[in-house]
Every structure is written in structure tokens, then in C-alpha cells.
Amino acid sequence: MVPEIGADAAPYIIFIAAIFTNNILLSNFLGMCSFLAISNQIKASFGLGMAVTFVLTMTATINWVVNAYVLIPLKIEYLQFIAFIIVIAALVQFVEIVIERFSPALYFALGIFLPLITVNCAILGVCLFMVRRHYTFAQALGYGVGSGLGWMLAIVAIAGIRHKLRFSNVPKPLEGVGITMILAGLMAFAFMGFAGMVDIK
Amino acid sequence: MDLVTLIAAVPPEPSPLTIGLRAVAVLCGLGAGLAVILVLSDYFFASYGECKIDVNNGAKEYTVQGGLTLLNALAEQKLFIPSACGGQGTCSYCKVKVLSDIGPILPTEMGQLTRLERKQNIRLSCQIKVKGDLRIEVPEEYFAIQEFRCEVLSNKQVTDDIVEIQFKLVEPDRMKFQAGKYVQVRIPRDEGLRRMRGVFGKYDFTGFNERKIDLEKVPKEKFINRAYSMSNSPGRDDIVELDVRIAPPPRETPDAPPGFASSYIWSLKEGEEVWVTGPYGDFFIKETENPKIFIGGGAGMAPMKAMILELFEVRKTTCTVKFFYGARAKKDIFYTDIFQKIADEHENFEYTVALSEPAPDDHWDGPTEFVHLTVEKALKDFGYVGNEYYLCGPPLMVDACTAMLAQKNVPESDVAFDKF
């Protein structure tokens, strides 16, 4: 019997579920574009994963506040998409400015990936799921961090596999993106093995 | 129905108008609030205060406002690093050696730096930002590069597609330079785009479709710099003279926009104000008595003319000088009178023109071939090794000449060239 997690789940359970059973990349297939583009280098994948985790944590919490204290009281929830996107875009800019100033090392590590995250659909996806599932603030935080780490886990794992694949004879028509799509599918199957742990709706 | 029940019947839901107004207010508020936060954070976090830049171990020291790119910060202090692409990171002219630690090589620099240069801390000054005190090294001659306010003295067409334009230096009014150097002409972006439309010699660009200009590809800076070799003799240090070839759209895409900088320069009228920086470049005549062979083609005439004038007017040279110029047809030859005069007055100068496809009514009895073949034949008895070669012209011509010279065992160090 799989424990089913409702809206009252503990934040740490949501955190673990977001990494394994409900991996944003492999179960919702969000954030695929940068996933396919970057996953040929392990180092870059790790950098992008770090950046996504960072921004997801920040946007999930801030958008939760915006939703709970601005959109819902004013009964304009239908603006969630546009409001969330504005917040994400501004936040990414802000984070970039701050990191560049205070941690040049991290800034160089994240490099070009930071601004790219603005258009990563996994970020908006997490914000929307969080609202639809009526998470509390702590749950949203757990979900944000977990989704980011899950995304990083998936992309680094795929990058590792693609690295190994360099020495394999991939059929000509499947080279590049083709084989990566198949890999992503197989990875998704593999991650379904975690499904017995917890399940969040 | 009395008034009380009517009011009670009004649903508690806000009207669509209120919701709409709220939506507008929230979005505006959210946008404005975030914009203010971004502007403030940019102001507080991205300001690096004043930074000191030490150049060449104390030779010069500048105090600049942090946050700019090194190239722009130095340009504000009137130290001009060569940069033909205007800070886009594509021309790789703006390399400087950075002695302070400023972090790893940026992805935008990667393609432009060789492995050796990366090891030596050579960086692209247009990509790195000044965020603290820096120590850098630049070639000594960069200190001589100045910014000049000029006035157009004359602009005359010398062939179908080349103009000779002269700028009078106003402030400062003298430029000391060696022949072969180039200057960068500063072109205001918007004015330059406007001036693409016009009639330039036999080319009529009045009808071209402006929407074909890919504005994304035009640099966003207010000013765009383009490099042109000077054609005046170093003896005339009060002017800058350039030979500028118009760049019509390529034959296969006749409705593409014409050259940005060349149409601007063609459109300049007498008396207009122009800004140039210079002199730049490492193309110049060696101080030796070896025979000097000049090979030029097209607008590659400019540095050739400057160098030959320097040799005969300034240095009063006694060594053998031969000048070979390659053109398509007779109408593409210019400055003949100047070289004819030098040839008449000096026994040690020889001027040869080779035409690759003379027109039927040219009545051409000179060499009819590509210029590198003419050079090969002309030097058969004179000898190839032991001469210095100075080449300037289209890449194909320069490549053909260097290949021919390499075949004749001329050492690479004796061949200097400027491709464009």
C-alpha cells in the first residue's frame, strides 16, 4: 500500500517525493529544452542543475507569497501565469546581479545558464503545481528545493549516460537528440521504480 | 421591491470592471515594484566604486568607475585598445594581458584565445569587466593611440567603386604614424543606418528594402568603429586619407543591404565632422636596405601608397623598390600619376600593373593575369629570396602571393601582409 500524500503531507516527504517519485523532468517532462541541449556535458549539466535548484527555491517561495497574499485576496487568481512569469524573470535578474557581486566564483560556475533559466518551463511548472495542490508555505519550499534537486539529478544522470554513449555505435538516424529522447524515456521508466515510496497528487 | 432588498440582492462578487481594474493595478504594481528592486539592486550591487587600473607596471595608472568592460573603461581614460568589431568579441584585436586574478576565461572569450594565450592570462578586454583594482599589460604603442576630431576635407571618387576621402585633423591637429597603420572611423549607428540609402557611384541603393537589414546583427552601441588603412604619407601628418571601397550587396542576394560603414563614408560631404582613433596596427616597413617588393590589389592600395611615399618622400630611400598592383580592368587603376612621377624621378622604383580581365577597349598591352603570376615572372632574374615583401589586398590575392612566395623559399619573416 503506497502511502498517499494529501495536502497535509510533511514538507520533507514532499521534498523526497519531488526528487524521486514525482521528478519534474522525468514524470512531468518539464524543462526538456535545456535538458536536451545541455545534457552532453556533465560539468555544464551540474552547473545548470545548481542554477535551477537555486532559482526554483526562490521562485516557489516568493510566488507562494504573491499568490497567497495578493492574488487570492483580490480574487484575481487567473493572473497566476503572468504574475508568476514576471516574478521569475525579475528574480533571475536579481539573483544574477547579487551573485555576480558577492560570489564571482559561483557566478562563473553558473555562467550563461542563470539567465537561460528564465525560460525554463520547469520553473513555471513547479509554481503552478504548488498552487494547484494547495501547498502551505513550508510544503512549497520543500517542493521547490526537491524539484530543483530532482531536475539536477536527472540531467546529471543523463549527461553521464550520454558521456558513456560517445563510444557506442548509435544508429545514424538516432544520433544526438534522438537517442537522448529514448534515454529520457528509459530513465523515466527507471524512476517509476521509486513510485512505491510515496505519491503526491 | 424596495431599496433594501435591491441592495441585498447585489451579489457579493465584485463586478468584472473591478476585477479588471484590480488586475491592471496588480500587474502594474508587481511590474513596477520588481523594476524598482532591480534598478536599486543594480545601483547598489553592480556599482564597484572606483577601481584603479595599473598599466604596464606603473607606466600609467587610471582611476575608473567599476562595472564597465575593460575596453570601455580604458577608452574613457583615452587609452584606446584596438577593436574592429566594437566590443562584440569577434575580431580578437582587443587582447590584453591581465596580471590580476579576475576569474576564469568566459565562454565568449574561448573561441578567440589560443591555448598559449589562455596560459599567459591574455584576455579579451571587451568581454571582461572591471570589478576591482587591476594590473594589466598592453603593448607600448597603444599609448600613442589618440582620438581625433576631424573635418572632411575632400571626398572624391577615384574608380568605379573606390573613393579617396581626406579628413583634416582638428583636435589634436597632428598624428605621428608609420606608413601601413590604420585608423578606426567612428560611425553613429542610427545615422549610419539612415545613410545606407543613396546613390554611390554607379550603385543605386535608393531602392533597397530597409526591412532586409537585420537589426539584431547591427551592434547595439551608439557608435560603431570600422578600421581603414591610411593612404597618406607620414610626411602629411595633418590629414588622414583613406581609400574606401563601396560594398554593394553580394551578387547572389541583390536586395540585401549595402555595406554599413562604406556607404556612410561615401556619403560624407566636405566640412562634416568625423571622429577617428589611431594609429593602430603592426604592418610597417622594416628599417633595412633590402629590396622591397610591394604587392597590392583593390583598396589594398591605401597602405601601399603610404609606404612608398614614406620610402621616397620621408626616408629618401636608396634601396630597390618594386610595386605590383593587381586590378580587373583599366577603370580600376588609380593613383597612376603619383607612381609614374616617382618612377620618373627615381631609378630604384618600378611600377607594374597587372589586369586580370581588361575590357576590350582598354587596349591593354601590359600583363594580363593575376598579379602573383606577374610578380613570379618579374622576379625570375632578380631573385626571390633576400627581398622583403609587403602585401595588402583581398584575402584571395594575399593567399595566392604568400603561397607563391613560400614555394620560392622566401622565409615567412620577410613577408608582411594585411588582409581585409
Q: In this structure, are residues A64 and A164 in contact, taking their beta carbons and an 8 Å threshold?
A: no
Same domain, B174 and B253: yes
Query: What separation in angstroms does the CA of B203 have from each of B154, B195, B248, B259, B264?
Result: 20, 14, 7, 12, 14
Query: pTM, whole model, 2 decimals?
Result: 0.65
Same domain, B365 and B259: no
Q: Which domain holds residue B154?
A: 145-280
- Residue A196 in this model has a pLDDT that exceeds 80: no
Same domain, B261 and B160: yes
C-alpha cell at A126: 513547479
Residue B78 belongs to some domain of the structure: yes
pLDDT at B163: 92
The more confidently predicted of residues A4 and B12 is B12
Is residue B77 classed exposed, middle or buried when 0-12, 13-18 and 19+ CB atoms within 10 A define those classes? middle
- Residue A2 in this model has a pLDDT that exceeds 50: no
Using CB atoms, pick whichever of A74, A76, A108 lies closest to residue B103.
A108
Residue A62's pLDDT band (boundaries 50, 70, 90)?
Answer: very high
Q: What's the gap in Å between the CA of B163 and the closest CA on chain A? A: 44
Tally of CB atoms within 10 A around A110: 24
CATH number of the domain encompassing residue B356: 3.40.50.80
DSSP state of B129: B
The more confidently predicted of residues A26 and B255 is A26
Same domain, B225 and B112: no
Query: What separation in angstroms does the CA of A162 have from each of A149, A158, A181?
Result: 20, 6, 11
Q: What's the gap in Å between the CA of A41 and the closest CA on chain B? A: 14
Neighbouring residues of A140: CB distance < 8 A, sequence distance ≥ 6: A60, A61, A64, A130
Q: What is the value of ipTM here, to two decimals?
A: 0.70
Domain end residue (candidates: B142, B176, B196): B142
DSSP state of B116: H
Using CB atoms, pick whichever of A66, A74, A97 lies closest to residue B46.
A97
- Residue A1 in this model has a pLDDT that exceeds 50: no
Q: What's the gap in Å between the CA of A120 and the closest CA on chain B? A: 20
pLDDT at A32: 83
Same domain, B239 and B304: no
Same domain, B55 and B110: yes
Give the C-alpha separation, B288 to B275, whole Å.
Answer: 35
Residues in chain A closer than 8 A to B107 (CB atoms): 111-112
Using CB atoms, pick whichever of A75, A90, A112 lies closest to residue B34.
A90
Same domain, B154 and B274: yes
Residue B385 belongs to some domain of the structure: yes
> Considering its fold, how many domains does chain B have in total?
3
Same domain, B169 and B234: yes
Residue B17 belongs to some domain of the structure: no
Same domain, B166 and B276: yes
Mutate to test the interface with A, among B13, B18, B24, B26 (most CBs of A within 10 A): B26
Q: Using DSSP, state whether A164 is helix, strand or coil.
A: helix
pLDDT, average across residues A168-196: 86
∠ CA B135-B125-B121, rounded to 5°: 55
Same domain, B162 and B259: yes
Q: What is the mean pLDDT of each run of 10 residues along chain B (420 residues)?
A: 54 76 87 89 77 88 86 87 76 87 81 87 88 88 89 92 92 89 89 83 75 69 84 91 88 78 90 90 87 90 92 88 91 90 90 90 88 90 90 90 91 84
Domain end residue (candidates: B89, B110, B142): B142
Residue B14 belongs to some domain of the structure: no
Same domain, B149 and B272: yes
With an 8 Å Cβ cutoff, are A66 and B30 in contact? yes
Residue A152's pLDDT band (boundaries 50, 70, 90)?
Answer: very high
pLDDT at A149: 94
* Bridge pairing between strands B415-419 and B239-245: unpaired
pLDDT at B92: 81
Same domain, B107 and B150: no
**Chain A contact residues (CB < 8 Å to B):** 66, 70-71, 74-76, 79, 82-83, 86-87, 90, 93-94, 97-98, 100-102, 104-105, 108, 111-112
pLDDT at B3: 54
Residues in chain A closer than 8 A to B106 (CB atoms): 108, 111
Q: In this structure, are residues B259 and B213 in contact, taking their beta carbons and an 8 Å threshold?
A: no
DSSP state of B230: B
With an 8 Å Cβ cutoff, are B45 and A66 in contact? no
With an 8 Å Cβ cutoff, are A101 and B45 in contact? yes
pLDDT, average across residues A48-56: 86
pLDDT, average across residues A12-16: 88
pLDDT at B150: 93
Residue B38 belongs to some domain of the structure: no
Q: In this structure, are residues B185 and B165 in contact, taking their beta carbons and an 8 Å threshold?
A: no
Is residue B190 classed exposed, middle or buried when 0-12, 13-18 and 19+ CB atoms within 10 A define those classes? exposed
Instruction: Return the top range by mean pLDDT from A128-132, A197-201, B44-48.
Output: A128-132
Q: In this structure, are residues B420 and B300 in contact, taking their beta carbons and an 8 Å threshold?
A: yes
Residues in chain A closer than 8 A to B23 (CB atoms): 76, 79
Give the C-alpha separation, A105 to B131, whole Å.
Answer: 13
Residues in chain B closer than 8 A to A98 (CB atoms): 41, 45
Residue B353 belongs to some domain of the structure: yes
